[in-house]
Amino acid sequence: MKEIRWIKNNMPKTECPELDIMSEANVAKARSFHESFPEYSKTPLAKLNHLAEHLGLGGLYVKDESYRFGLNAFKVLGGSYAIARYIAKKLGKDISEVPYHVLTSEKLREEFGQATFYVATDGNHGRGIAWAANRLHQKCIVHMPKGSTENRRMNIAKENAQVTIEELNYDDCVRLANEEANRCENGIMVQDTSWEGYVEIPTWISQGYGTLSAEAKEQLEAYGVKRPTHIFTQAGVGSFASSVHGYFVNQYPDNPPRFIVVESLVAACLYRGALAGDGKPRCVGGSMQTIQAGLACGEPNLQSWEILRSYTDVFAACPDWVTEKGMRILAAPLKGDPQVTSGESGAVPLGLLYTIMTDPAYADLKAELGLDETSQVLCFSTEGNTDPDRYREIIWDGRDVIMDDYFTDFE
């Protein structure tokens, strides 16, 4: 069984102007937009009192995104906000002038016209973009990487999107979608990663993700928690993790929580950057076959990297067995704790936390993070059972659907 890899962040610290992306004011705009949706409600923050006691923690909380807009994942928050911001900008309007009922009106459609939104995805991001485009009467073309499941493809196709599974990895699907968007009249790339010349839309996506962080802060306070001491965030390109880190650093600038970034072992580009230690991003290539499909991204969002390298305490790279452990724990909680249906990319933070607290092999990581009976720990379950067949294989049948056996050591 492959081991968890982890490293303390020893990269040089610099000023981080990107932190303003996740300011209170910017997140409030995004949240106000999301609250205009008829499907909007806060997703639950599961309070796992008995598991916290079992692990020797002061408190343990899991934000359950399986309830988000009926789409079983958080990604729609970023995609819908980015599309709305793009349309508002094209019309010379502020985002506050285009809430859901305006965006979906025939008047706005006549004013804006027809666009085609392009996206690369393992499933959740593309489904969110397709869902939003469908409601706005716009077109959507989606490319999925090699190894994507038919269930996830069909979920996107149900939203009237054109969707294909390519013989390419995720990062090459991003390039393909971008090339097609550039060739298409009124084609727009909506991706949660940035590169030179492509920054604005990824910024809006990160701000859209801020809605769930703002909800979680309020919910923690309702539970009597003034400040989380530790936050575990999963990462693919890093957009979600940097959104969470940026938001909570802005909330607690003098005493931020300790941040742990969790990646799939086979796609751990952020871990590899921390391992190099010079502050420069690194990439991972290859097919990156892992059940943690939402994290199978080998090239970091360069804008997100600046936040993550400045404020992350520990980077961890986890084999598939870690997320399977997390899925099973959340699906069969200790008596009295709420159940959380968490998918393969949603449960890896909880799986890592549990392993740190129970396996003596990771006692040094536990000590490094200062996890003890005073700790108030926040995790995010970013998706539910987005692939029901695989979820049942893992939870019902007890099958280890581990796909990272080809992995070779980091150089």
DSSP sequence for 212-272? HHHHHHHHHHHTT-SS-SEEEEE-SSSHHHHHHHHHHHHHSTTSPPEEEEEEEGGG-HHHH
Grade residue 404 by pLDDT with cuts at 50, 70 and 90. Answer: low
Instruction: Using CB atoms within 10 Å of the CB of residue 261, give its burial: 0 to 12 exposed, 13 to 18 middle, 19+ buried.
Output: buried
77-198 matches 5-74+201-395 in CATH topology: yes
What's the CA gap between 46 and 378, in Å, rounded?
10
Mean pLDDT over all residues of the chain?
Answer: 95
For the chain, the domains span 5-74+201-395, 77-198
For the domain with range 5-74+201-395, which CATH number is right: 3.40.50.300, 1.10.3720.10, 3.40.50.1100, 1.10.10.370?
Answer: 3.40.50.1100
Q: DSSP character for 187?
A: E
- Residue 400: predicted pLDDT: 80
Residue 262 — left, alpha, or beta (φ > 0 → left; ψ -120 to 50 → alpha)?
Answer: beta
Q: Is the pLDDT of residue 411 over 50?
A: no
Nearest partner of 274 among 289, 284, 286, judged by Cα: 284
- pLDDT mean over 174-182: 97
Closest to 80 in 3D by CA, of 20, 23, 37: 37
Per-residue confidence band for 143, with pLDDT thresholds at 50, 70 and 90: very high
Report how far residue 64's alpha carbon sits from residue 349's, in angstroms, rounded to the nearest whole number: 13
**Distance (Å, whole) CA 344 – CA 338:** 19
Percentage of the chain exceeding pLDDT 70: 98
Task: Classify residue 75 by its DSSP letter.
Answer: T
Residue-wise pLDDT for 41-93, tens only, equals 999 999 999 999 999 999 999 999 999 999 999 999 999 999 999 999 999 99
Class of 77-198 in CATH: alpha beta
Q: Is the pLDDT at 407 greater than 70, yes or no?
A: no
pLDDT of residue 15: 86
Query: What confidence score (pLDDT) does residue 387 get?
Result: 93
Kindly list the strands in the beta sheet with 314-318, ordered across the sheet, starting from the edge strand earlier in the chain: 5-8, 314-318, 258-264, 230-234, 376-381, 59-64, 45-47
pLDDT score recorded for residue 377:
99
How big is the chain, counted in residues?
411
Strand, helix or coil for residue 54: helix
**pLDDT above 60: residue 316:** yes
Catalytic residue among 29, 47, 63, 75: 75
Secondary structure (DSSP) of 283-338:
---S----S-GGG---S--HHHHHHHHHH-SEEEEE-HHHHHHHHHHHHSPPTTSP
Phi, psi of 36 (to 5 degrees): -80, -10
The average pLDDT across 326-352 equals 98
Whole-number pLDDT of residue 42: 98
Reply yes or no on whether 280 is catalytic: no
pLDDT at 13: 83
Q: Of the residues 63, 64, 122, 171, which is catalytic? A: 122
End-to-end C-alpha distance for the chain, whole angstroms: 20
Q: Per-residue pLDDT averaged across 209-230, rounded?
A: 98
d(CA 278, CA 208): 30
**Is the model's pLDDT at 332 over the cut of 90?**
yes
pLDDT at 200: 97
pLDDT for the residue 402:
67
pTM passes above 0.85: yes
Considering 112-126, 208-222, 387-401, the range whose residues carry the highest mean pLDDT is 208-222
More confident residue, 112 or 287: 112
405 assigned to active site: no
Are 403 and 394 in contact by the 8 Å Cβ rule? The answer is no
What's the longest Cα–Cα distance across the chain? 63
Whole-Å CA distances, 109 to 39, 87, 133? 21, 10, 12
| Tokens 């995004």 found at | 30
